[in-house]
A and B are shown apart, each in its own frame.
Chain A
């Protein structure tokens, strides 16, 4: 079974803090993704990475950065947390098989910025 783990289930940070969200997958997937999920807005893609040290902006990259130094690990960084970044953050990974891109998700991190 593919396993995607996220470093924390719940996180509370203060405005202005630098926040690191970690995601690890154990299936040697090339692609990794960070989404945020807000009520009424669904899942929105923040960043994704298709290889080590490679990254591409998603739909809402402002205020975020990412790091992928190893294939299995993809980190999301909030440089200076703000209250509007309070959200559920979901990490996912995928492997291209026959042109399908089924994504495997971690359990999510519910971040509260106060």
Chain B
């Protein structure tokens, strides 16, 4: 059962620009997480935001959560070529399982 849906599916920007990715979900959650996947590799956890939080920062990452709209956004500021990857949101609703979206493919051009 796919819950998170990322938007856009693909995003291409220039180095130094900001990148914003959105995630929508359908049911109530305990927390929402963002992961990054470099081409052909495993996923790496980036940041977790709990349902009672509205915004969280980690380095160049900023995540927001709007539980009334069932949506989240991931902002990467001052992007670098090394940020080129696919980004996934994942929701956790009270069990050990996460439900992942289909991902946004970000390309940062030098």
A binds B: yes
Interface residues on chain A, size class: 20 to 34
Query: What are the interface flags for B53-77 relative to A under an 8 Å C-beta threshold, 1 for contact and 0 otherwise?
Result: 0000000000000000000000000
Q: How many A-B residue pairs have CB under 8 A?
A: 60
Known A-B contacts A41-B102, A42-B2, A59-B1; the reply to A96 vs B42 at CB < 8 A is no
In the complex, which residues of chain A have a beta carbon less than 8 angstroms from the beta carbon of B102? Answer: 40-42
Instruction: Give the segment of A69-77, A78-86, A98-106 that binds chain B.
Output: A98-106
Whether B44 lies near A101 (C-beta < 8 A) is no
Known A-B contacts A42-B2, A59-B1; the reply to A108 vs B42 at CB < 8 A is yes
A90 near B: Cβ within 8 Å?
yes
A25 near B: Cβ within 8 Å?
no
A59 to B33, CA, bound (A): 20
Total interface residues in chain B, CB < 8 Å: 25
A11 near B: Cβ within 8 Å?
no
B100 near A: Cβ within 8 Å?
yes
Question: In chain A between 84 and 114, which residues have their CB closer than 8 angstroms to a CB of chain B?
Answer: 88, 90, 92, 94, 96, 99-108, 110
Q: In whole Å, how far is A50's beta carbon from the nearest beta carbon of chain B?
A: 6
Interface of A is mostly: strand
Known A-B contacts A42-B88, A100-B31; the reply to A106 vs B42 at CB < 8 A is yes
Residues of A within 8 A of B (CB): 4, 31, 33, 35, 40-45, 48, 50, 58-59, 88, 90, 92, 94, 96, 99-108, 110
17 A-B interface contacts by CB (under 8 A): A4-B42, A40-B102, A41-B102, A42-B2, A43-B43, A45-B97, A50-B96, A59-B1, A88-B40, A90-B43, A92-B42, A92-B43, A94-B96, A100-B48, A100-B50, A101-B97, A107-B42
What 17 new A-B contacts, CB under 8 Å, besides A42-B88, A105-B43, A110-B40? A4-B42, A42-B100, A42-B102, A45-B97, A59-B1, A90-B42, A92-B42, A99-B31, A100-B31, A100-B48, A101-B96, A102-B33, A102-B48, A104-B45, A105-B35, A105-B44, A107-B42
